[in-house]
Structure 1
Amino acid sequence: DLSRWLPCQSRCELAGAASLFLSIKNSSILINGPRWCAMVAEREMAAAEKKYEKQMFCSEVKEVDLLYGADEAMQSALDEIKNEQKPDLIAVLNSCSVSLIGDDLKGICKSADMGCPVIPMDSGGLRGEFWHGYQIAAQKLLESLNLKTDRKRKNNKVNIIGWCTAYPNWLGDLLEIKRMLQKINIEVGICFGADGVAMKDLEELPEAALNVVLHPELGLNAVEFLKERLGQEYVIAPIPYGMQNSLQWLQKITAALNMQPDFSAIENEIAYNQEKIDTAIFQLKANNKNISFGNAYLCLTQGMAMGIVKALVSEFPDLNDIYLRLEGPVESSIMSEIFCLTREWKGYSDKHIRKNYLDLVLGNTQTRVEAANYKNTVFMNVLLPYQGVVVHERPYAGITGWKFLLADIFDKFQTLAYLNPVVEDDRIC
């Protein structure tokens, strides 16, 4: 299997680093490389947030620069940023080609008089993928901050670590998570990686009593850095999906904070919504007695998989087997519980297709093409990259998000069931 030697099999390290730095309010990104690399990265970032296009610049390195050095091209681009943007932060990201020539990136950035912090980063895709770039960028950004250890902490305040505006539904999911936390009197401080966080705001990171890691593939190294630097504790609580799983997620965080809040409002909300969901499931089965859900095929990141798998096992109607393939870094110790509930999915095959069953496929558009069996699969795009009209405000996580996710899945199920009439001989006994 030679695929492991490929330099980048999905979105590259440069895109991951850019996604974090662009989330900082009034930041600018200089891609130190050819125009082609900048155009690809700009297209990917603009798909997440259109305004990011105006924050990205390119040194437009040419062939002669690759031979004799790109320092003049980079300095010219830095001057352009200073004159046009006057940013609060500049990140200089080397592309693959410039990474090979060995320019003194740190020295050039240090000597440049930009009037704001300049963070250099060698982010060529020859070394890693999106998540690796995000992690390195997070480390460098935190190291550049003047985080004070003597700031007073609030016992009921948490930071959210490991968030990304390139993930589908990032805004709606974040709003729902904040809503649930605030409903049990937990204050949310900094959401590291969410759009619009100012450099000055990041100085408030030490005020939280706990850092909550929602996507370990993005935020685990950041919370370990904060624990070492500030003595701040953290809890790995991947993004919650489902009703009871959302309640258990909240209970895990309150236990880490040594809080004993009143969960009655949350429990009443869950009971109210669960009754509606149970009715919808009953109607779905009653209207489709001869066809049902089959297997689930999931291609997800670690943080998403932990929440979605638990919800599918405990709160989804009558799935058979769950096949899982993980994108990005994986901590086996964190995933051990999930691995016991799933089987490894190496690829979709016609042998999995059975009469009178509609399989559930969760992933991205590449996963959908791989699954291929459009007639018998209910597909949801929950993983980057996303194609089509992006509605970040629509949640799939938490209590509200589970209703939206089930509504979308059931709607597609009904459509496919109508398009797949069951003949008499095929009916399930």
Structure 2
Amino acid sequence: MKFYSKNITPDSLTGAVFALEGIKNSIVLLNSPTGCKFYHSAISDYQYTRQLEFDPLNYPEKFYFGQPRVPCTYLDKDDYVYGSKYKLEEILDFIKDKDTDLIAVINSPGASLIGDDLNGILYRKIKDKPYISIETTAFSQSFYKGFQNSLISLLKNLNLEEYHNNNEKTVNIIGVSIYDKYYEGDIKEIKRLLNLCNIKVNCVLCADTNFNTLKNINKASLNIVLYPELGIDIAEYLKQKYSISYFSFDKGLPIGFDLTEEFIKSICEIMNSDCTDFITEIEKARAKSYIHISRLNSLTGLPKGSTFSIESTSSKAYSYTNFLIEYFGMIPNCINFIEDDPNLFKNNLKSLLRDYSIEDVLNKNIYETKSDLVFSNGNTISQLKLNNHIFSGIEIDLPSLGYIDIIPKTHLGIKGSLLLVEQVLNGINF
């Protein structure tokens, strides 16, 4: 059985929008019909809040249509024949005097066929303010391509000089998006762990990133690729252009105590940093986690033997699976990769599953598989609930079911490992 919700996957246009929306005080303008803006604006404002109340009279301008982010030129059939120049000029006249650090204009796939000179229009209208135009986002290729291509275009536009900073323990974090469910918590935790090792984070590309900080991205001695699907191409560009080497963790993501320890130790070895304080903290976290797991296990035998399903990118699927099997003793029933995933860690996952003789769980139908815990996005979890499956759902991707996170959360690092232990134990109990 095929479900429509499984086919709702972001493409290159969404990747480009959320890449540039991740820059503080930017205006990302879509040269598109109104239908292209509403989802992007809603998700961006949900993840990176700009308005304090849902008043339909807020942002009444025809370009914004009641939403605070991602205005659009509301193209219609005549614009596809005669061009979008006049609508672009009209909206640029409206926004050019706003207090903003960057104006980005992105063509929707249809608008990219019109042939308007976006760069020329921007130059004539706002040449005294930083701007970038994205003529095409690769015609509905993957989210990851659109995200990386747009940021590489922006970095090329900045035209930075080569800068050598080999004496300072300063890094950039590459490959973070405001479309990551827990991006804020991810950034805070990785920064905190690196700080324990006296390593300074120079710039995060690209989520909640200050534009002036972005212009200093070439002043780091190492780039850390956090989510490889969102950062490998960018890291390669920065290596070639500015001779900044990069570290990409070959085990996926720092999820779980073992992978977190290996991740931080690898960076410390490269940066010649002392990780003693980090080791002390992670050992305390392991001890705290063990107490709760041991108590539950003594009463029920769980979580060992509990079953789980995962639907996500290959890097997440591998890292979660590694933690759940090797730390908890749980059993995977189904592991799916989302559509358009570049499969960077498919072989790692196959090798892990082969060690336990359970390769057949890969790419089973998650909608027809029953497990005690399901790690996925809100769409899949809600569909399984509608199918009357009895399980606990743990969201690891967007779209969300709407849980409001007041405190920034993460599944990465030490705090993320503890949160996962908490969610697994409570998921099994309730």
Secondary structure at the counterpart of residue 93 of structure 2:
helix
Q: Which moved more, 1:70-79 or 1:385-394?
A: 385-394
Compare 282-291 and 106-115 and name the one that shifted more: 282-291
Are the structure 2 counterparts of residues 327 and 247 from structure 1 closer, same or farther at C-alpha, using a change threshold of 3 Å? farther
Q: Which amino acid aligns with 1:69?
A: G
1:59 matched to 2:73: yes
Pair 220,272 (structure 1): closer, same or farther in 2 beyond 3 Å: same
Amino acid at match of 2:34: R
Matched with 2:123 is 110
Structure 1 unmatched ranges of 5 or more: 416-429
CA 1:154–1:302: 2 relative to 1, 3 Å: farther
Hey, what's the Cα distance between the residues in 1 that align with 2:337 and 2:178? 22
- Indicate whether 1:163 and 2:176 are aligned: yes
* Cα distance in 1 for residues equivalent to 2:303 and 2:266: 38
Q: How does 1:179-198 map to 2 (within 5 A)?
A: 179-195=192-208, 197-198=209-210
- TM-fit CA distance, 1:171: 1.0
Task: Report what 1:424 is aligned to.
Answer: none
CA–CA separation in structure 2 for the residues paired with 1:414 and 1:349? 23
Give the alignment's Cα RMSD to 1 decimal: 2.6
1:393 aligns to 2:414 (yes or no): no
CA 1:93–1:413: 2 relative to 1, 3 Å: same
Secondary structure of 1:21's aligned partner: helix
Equivalent residue in structure 1 for 2:351, among 334, 340, 345 = 340
Q: 1:335, CA displacement in angstroms?
A: 4.2
**Structure 1 residue 234, shift from structure 2 partner:** 0.5
| Alpha-carbon distance between aligned partners in 2 of 1:180 and 1:328, rounded to the nearest angstrom | 32
Structure 2 distance, partners of 1:218, 1:168, is: 14
The normalised TM-score by structure 2 is 0.85
User: Which runs of 5 or more residues in structure 2 are unaligned?
Assistant: 52-66, 354-358
Quote the residue 2:282 is aligned against.
270
Is 1:379 aligned to residue 390 of structure 2? no
- Looking at structure 2, the residues matched to 252 and 291 of structure 1 have their Cα atoms a distance apart, in angstroms, of 30
Are 1:30 and 2:29 counterparts? yes
Corresponding residue for 1:240? 254
State the 1:289 CA deviation: 4.5
SS of corresponding position for 2:203: strand
Q: What does 1:20-419 correspond to in 2, within 5 Å?
A: 20-51=19-50, 53-83=67-97, 85-123=98-136, 126-195=139-208, 197-237=209-249, 238-257=252-271, 259-261=272-274, 263-289=275-301, 293-320=305-332, 323-332=335-344, 334-342=345-353, 343=359, 344-348=362-366, 350=368, 352-353=369-370, 358-372=371-385, 375-391=389-405, 393-415=408-430
Q: Shift of residue 143 of structure 1?
A: 0.6
Per-residue Cα deviation, 1:362-400 (whole angstroms, up to 9, x for no partner)? 110122245446543221111122221342602221111
Is the CA contact (8 Å cut-off) linking 1:227 and 1:234 kept in structure 2? yes
Count of equivalent residues = 400
Q: SS of the counterpart of 1:341?
A: helix
The two structures have a TM-score, normalised by structure 1, of 0.85
How far does the alpha carbon of each residue in 1:126-145 deviate from its partner, in whole angstroms, 9 at most, with x for none? 52232222111111111111
Map of 1:418 onto structure 2: none
Give distance in 2, aligned partners of 1:101 and 1:203. Answer: 32
Alpha-carbon distance, 1:253 to partner: 1.2
Q: Distance in 2 between matches of 1:54 and 1:90?
A: 15
State whether residues 309 and 332 of structure 2, in contact with CA within 8 Å, keep that contact through their aligned partners in structure 1.
no
SS in 2 for 1:223: helix
Deviation at 1:94, TM superposition (A): 1.1
Seen in structure 2, the aligned counterparts of structure 1 residues 177 and 291 have a Cα distance that, compared at 3 Å, is: closer
- Rounded to whole Å, the distance in 2 between the matches of 1:42 and 1:18 is 9
Aligned partner of 1:208: which letter?
A
3-state SS of the aligned residue for 1:221? helix
Letter in 2 for 1:408: Q
* Cα offset, 1:9, TM superposition: 4.5
